[in-house]
Amino acid sequence: MSKKPLGDPQLITQSLVPEYIRSLKVYQAGKPIDELAREKGLSRISKLASNENPLGPSPYAIREMTNALWDIHRYPDMHAFALKSALSDLYQLKKENITLGNGSEGIMGYIARAFLSPGAEVLTSENTFIGFYILARSVGAQLNCVPLTKDYRYDVEAMANSIHKNTKIIYIANPNNPTGTYINRKEFDHLMEHVPDHVLVILDEAYFEYAEDCDDYPDSMDYRYDNVITLRTFSKAYGLSGIRVGYGFGHEDLIANLNKVKLPFEPNLIAQRGAVGALKDRPHLERTLDTNSMLLKECVQFLKEKDFSPISSITNFVTIKTGSEEASNALFNALLGKGVIIRPLKANEMPDFIRISIGTEEEMQHFYQAMEDILPKYNDQFSRA
């Protein structure tokens, strides 16, 4: 039996894959610990690159996930009754107002699938969460990105003035990643005065738990706009990055349409049970926030003593300017050699910045000692202003 000759793979790809997909860049995660250990032969490694909870998950979450292993031959509850009930009780919402996904990015993907199409315009900021850029572009949407202010915050006034008839979605990361800054109540109120009812606002509150005690932080649960979808996650403060579970709140009509494009049985069984357990352990969350607050202040003080000017952050990370892409790469690679993983921000179009996640006290001491060893050699490369 003769085989049909193969065609030109490049021509086949061009005919099948839209240009807006071919031009996408793959999301780059922080360097894994095991990879660095293999490359450098190091035994002591501190990962300060991905804004994870260094204290780990709650013992309650571990217990629930461990018990769930006996049921993994069964499909999970497609409607996630237990997890939605826990969230419903916590935030005083109906279950119909709640959606779930593989991390908040999973829900962003459903929003893009449900509400965006080729040519639709999305209004957002420069230097914000790059995962959203990728998802919006993956459906052919056009991004209108407003520059940050001089102090690296969302320029709410410029965004309000950029809304026009073609605007379909506005994306706001509050607090913002990778700057750690936030828009306050007054700014949010001002923006919403300019948002038409038919424009959907995505409020990405992945770092909500770190910000909620700020007096002027606009907790979206205090507003409940019909055209706003709030996204939150168990990946950050709750320490469940590895199981990927996020949740969203919105008007039941919006949520009903999101559920039409949502994959069944997501999040998975382990994720659902782990999230329920995490919500039961408020003391673990409070320890996380207290530890982070203390170590964030220490880190900011250390960086200032080294003549850096950290961007004011209310999250579990801090971002500093190095002055050039070359300086960022030099610091990143030098720290890797010492077993410390940080995050250069070229992918966020901030090549002259780096981001440092807050780790345990031991991990932060490792970072400080590595910086003490490195800076004398590289000090003249940095322009910190």
Residue 174: φ, ψ to 5°: -135, 105
- In Å, what is the CA distance from 43 to each residue of 179, 337, 338? 31, 12, 10
Condensed to tens digits (0 to 9), the pLDDT of residues 108-136 reads: 999 999 999 999 999 999 999 999 999 99
Q: Is the pLDDT of residue 152 over 90?
A: yes
User: Across the chain, which distance is largest between two alpha carbons, in Å?
Assistant: 75
Give the DSSP H or E segment for 217.
none
CA distance 100 to 105: 10
Q: What is the pLDDT of residue 18?
A: 75
Q: Which two tokens stand for residue 234?
A: 């168990």
Q: Is the pLDDT of residue 385 over 60?
A: no
Neighbours of 63 (CB within 10 A): 15
Section 338-366 average pLDDT: 96
Q: What is the pLDDT of residue 33?
A: 78
Condensed to tens digits (0 to 9), the pLDDT of residues 240-280 reads: 999 999 999 999 999 999 999 999 999 999 999 999 999 99
Q: Is the pLDDT of residue 21 over 90?
A: no
Q: Tell whether omega for the bond before 218 is within 30 degrees of 0, i.e. cis.
A: no
CATH number of residue 333's parent domain: 3.90.1150.10
CATH number of residue 111's parent domain: 3.40.640.10
| Of residues 224 and 60, more confidently modeled | 60
Q: Is the pLDDT of residue 20 over 90?
A: no
Is the same domain home to 110 and 229? yes
Q: Which domain holds residue 275?
A: 59-281
Q: What is the pLDDT of residue 42?
A: 80
Q: What is the pLDDT of residue 303?
A: 97
Name the packing angle between helices 361-378 and 325-337 (round to 10°): 120
Nearest CA among 286, 210, 287, 238 for reference residue 62: 238
Q: What is the pLDDT of residue 24?
A: 64
Q: Determine, yes or no, domain membership for 109.
A: yes
CA distance 379 to 8: 51
Instruction: Provide the pairing of β-strand 98-101 with 200-204.
Output: unpaired
DSSP 42-99: -S--EE-SS---TT-S-HHHHHHHHHHGGGTTS---TT-HHHHHHHHHHHT--GGGEE
Is the same domain home to 119 and 180? yes
Is the same domain home to 50 and 66? no
Q: What is the pLDDT of residue 383?
A: 63
Q: What is the pLDDT of residue 352?
A: 96
Q: Determine, yes or no, domain membership for 8.
A: no
State the total domains in the chain.
2
Condensed to tens digits (0 to 9), the pLDDT of residues 291-343 reads: 999 999 999 999 999 999 999 999 999 999 999 999 999 999 999 999 999 99
Condensed to tens digits (0 to 9), the pLDDT of residues 71-96 reads: 999 999 999 999 999 999 999 999 99
Is the same domain home to 170 and 310? no
Condensed to tens digits (0 to 9), the pLDDT of residues 185-241 reads: 999 999 999 999 999 999 999 999 999 999 999 999 998 899 999 999 999 999 999
Q: What is the pLDDT of residue 36?
A: 77
**Cβ atoms of residues 275 and 245 within 8 Å:** yes
Lowest mean pLDDT among 35-39, 104-108, 134-138, 256-260: 35-39
Q: Determine, yes or no, domain membership for 6.
A: no
Give the DSSP H or E segment for 184.
none
Is the same domain home to 245 and 333? no
Is the same domain home to 262 and 358? no
Section 166-195 average pLDDT: 97
- Terminal C-alpha separation, the chain: 71
pTM of the model: 0.91
